[in-house]
A = this chain, B = another copy of it.
Amino acid sequence: METELSRTLGIEHAIFGFTPFPAVAAALSRAGCFGVLGAVRYTAPDDLAHDLDWMQEHTDGRPYGLDVVMPAKKVEGVSEAEVEAMIPAGHREYVRSVLAKHGVPELAEGEASGWRITGWMEEVARNQLDVAFDYPIKLLANALGSPPPDVVARAHAHGVLVAALAGSARHARRHAEAGIDIVVAQGYEAGGHTGEIASMVLTPEVVDAVSPLPVLAAGGIGSGEQIAAGLALGAQGVWLGSLWLTTTEAELHSRALTAKLLAAGSGDTVRSRALTGKPARQLRTEWTDAWEDPAGPGPLPMPLQGLLVAEAVSRIQKYEVDPLLGTPVGQIVGRMNSERGVQQVVDELTRGFEKAVDRINRIAGRSGS
């Protein structure tokens, strides 16, 4: 499964795997795909350096990349405390009431919340980059908007390609103007932050909008036939995130969450502002329901919602409060019904891809297949 882009990056399969787990990212690169480690949870640069050291030891010299979250809109000269102060008291009270309704215990004194707003702030992302450019990463992806011009220039000076996610052709054009190298067209069905245009429509629109820049198809892809579909739509590769959450290498914070993912159907996700303030697809839970409830105050805009709910999310995760327990994941969760190793999943993807190509050739009346 080779495209111009996969040859440029020196990978066997044009499959890009996004994951917050170093063990998954490394296994992907070893399996001939391109592992992309999500950096949002590394608020301390040393933690990131530690895991990138580990990646170096476990990728057998294969290429890999890093995904940072650098918001397009910079919050200038405002401290986290000042942003905290913008949160209405009624919203804090609502969070308390939802947690109380489900009997969610408090964190112990001094326990930090796991999902910190700071991970969303540009300063943290820049600290991450200071670490990352000391490692031979081959790709830097930005999950929210185009990276700032100096970051693009710095990446290029290090020979690192820059990718950015886009939910519309307009976003994609803006990325191209910002000098990025690869656009990830993230369809409505994808997990995490996503727009309203489905992959079937979005992928070719983005390909047309930024040609000759390479495009990766993201959203709704979790099988070889879906990879074939994404590539038929003009993409030079596919970008998969959700599928790895139920691999044996994934280090989810709770078995209860893994069980929920394995049991969920494609209709069990919702595009909700409950986690970050921007629409992100995730498991539908009583937590997301609470933020859809017309009787509630509704979510705040980014970055306020993320700050508001950070501690609550940590408590829900720590105590595995089942009705509230969720995670960003795409509609493909309906197909994630067993735990398997990354290599086995990749083998199934490539086999499924070959079968889909056989089938399409039979339909097209092409001989030799």
Contacts and interface: CB of A to CB of B under 8 A. Distances in A.
Interface of A: 1-3, 14, 168-169, 187-189, 195-202, 204-205, 219-221, 223, 225-226, 228-234, 265-267, 330-332, 334-335, 353-354, 356-357, 359-361, 363-369
A220 B187 CA distance: 12
Contact of A357 (B200, B223, B354, B360): B360
Nearest to A168: B267
21 contacts: A1-B364, A187-B198, A188-B198, A189-B201, A196-B267, A197-B266, A200-B230, A201-B220, A201-B330, A201-B334, A201-B335, A204-B225, A205-B335, A231-B359, A231-B363, A232-B357, A232-B360, A353-B364, A354-B364, A357-B361, A357-B366
This chain's copy number in the assembly: 2
Nearest to A265: B169
Given A231-B359, A233-B229, A200 B197 contact: no
A279 to B, nearest CB: 13
Contact of A223 (B204, B220, B266, B360): B204
Contacts of A364: 1, 353-354, 357
Contact of A363 (B2, B332, B361): B2
Contact of A369 (B201, B353, B366): B366
A367 to B, nearest CB: 7
Contact of A232 (B169, B332, B356): B356
B220 A225 contact: no
A187 B200 contact: yes
